[in-house]
Amino acid sequence: MSRPEDHLPPDLYYNDTEAHKYTTSSRIQHIQTLMTHRALSLLALPSPSLILDIGCGSGLSGTLLSSLPASSGGPHQWIGLDISSSMLGVALERDVEGDLFLGDAGQGIPFRPGTFDGALSISAVQWLCNVESSEESAAGRLARFFAGLFACLRRGGRAVCQFYPRDRGQREMVAGAAVRAGFGAGLLIDDEGTKSEKTYLVLSVGGGDITGVVSGLEGEVEVEDQRRRAKERGKMSGREKAEMVKGSKAWIMRKKQQMERKGKVVKPTSKYTGRKRRIQF
């Protein structure tokens, strides 16, 4: 099945026409409502809270947050962040109650530390795995996103990201990036193996217990992290150590990999990477 992110970046894909079509579709409204309710049940916010809606679009989830009755813990205040100006334009036409910000979550979350009690994201995180230039990487975009999200949540806060991973590898890449940013994390997959499959990544900032809510990721991701850290600490073979001379191609490649994991932009690798330059007179 064709995926929207395979065609255009989100700010171009969700133009005025697509934004209105998305918002007025009764089917999309129904699915969005179900997924938002599911995300709220996983957030488990005890009282009216301030929530960040990442990839808020035209405010479909936000409308639900604003209208929740007190018996369900609402109504909540919310702030929406989206990369599509057309989607935000429709949200303004609909006169939603949340504050709206135009921005790319893959470049970070532009809010002060500890601002939000919780965060949710519906059908947006998979877009961060697509890059439009050789100067960016999916790993870098995910690292910046989760680092910013971790910072802007209060201690004990939670975030729930519903997304559509392309495959298991992409799902593990997203989850691994969240764990490396400092989150306690778990996955919940509804209707697994069917066309209606929905993946929810549940995240907690120190003090938020998600045991029993979702399947833990810590074991799987920590093992991979331990291997990576061991390699970074220098547990290499004698031959690898001999080749790891400052300025060598192996040294340059290792430094570039470290920078990419930190979310920094690095120059693309080519056949000239690490090649000694001839001195011309």
Residue 222 has a pLDDT of 44
Q: pTM above 0.85? A: no
Is pLDDT at 229 greater than 90 in this prediction? Answer: no
Range of the domain at 267: 236-281
CA dist list (Å): 90 to 20, 25, 197, 249? 7, 13, 28, 50
Confidence of residue 61 (pLDDT cuts 50, 70, 90): very high
Clarify whether residues 167 and 104 are in a common domain. yes
Residue 261 or residue 64, greater confidence: 64
Taking residues 172-190, report their average pLDDT: 94
Q: List the one residue out of 150, 232, 253, 190 whose CA is nearest residue 42.
A: 190
Q: What is the pLDDT of residues 189-202, one digit of tens each?
A: 999 888 889 999 99
Clarify whether residues 67 and 186 are in a common domain. yes
Clarify whether residues 63 and 148 are in a common domain. yes
Clarify whether residues 197 and 256 are in a common domain. no
Which long-range contacts (C-beta less than 8 Å, at least 24 apart) are formed by 12-16? 13/84, 14/57, 14/84, 14/86, 14/87, 15/86, 16/86, 16/89
> How many domains are there within the chain?
2
Query: In b/e form, how buried is each residue of 148-172, taking b as 16+ CB within 10 angstroms?
Result: bbbbbbbeebbbbbbbbbeeeeebb
